[in-house]
Structure 1
């Protein structure tokens, strides 16, 4: 048996299909799930997403990341303080008289 190598033709997707895929992605479904469900490549979904954002990958500014990181650290510190207060209150109220 001799199998000939035939070049694979590229599938073309219309704008409505692409928009629907991007909508699914925006609604929280993973690219892997969408790709598996629709029988398309995960990479093409990421490519469409990149093109949809103006042809450029949107990069988050380092300052924005630093600000968010500091806010999260402050929140963790606040929650740790609240937890310590609750631990102390629990030990005070649970003492045997």
Structure 2
């Protein structure tokens, strides 16, 4: 299971908004990300870059899987794993009971 985020969603949204609004003030996007991450006390500029990319995808500016699609895929994978475990349990139980039926009675 993934660890909870170190940064609250409000801070993420603020950082993304600031980067998107200040792109014109910096020579390139990486400089804007570095500056804003430092201003907001975010230690990893890579985190901010990922947040910006995901916001662009969610906004339809960039191609990729949206946050909703990623959440749905994650939920489906979890459900798939649970169903596989249930199938294994049922296979084991059916093999156990089939073996019980094949045994001769002692009485």
Same fold (TM over 0.5): no
What TM-score, normalized to structure 1? 0.42
Q: Which has the higher contact order (CA 8 A, sep 6+)?
A: 2
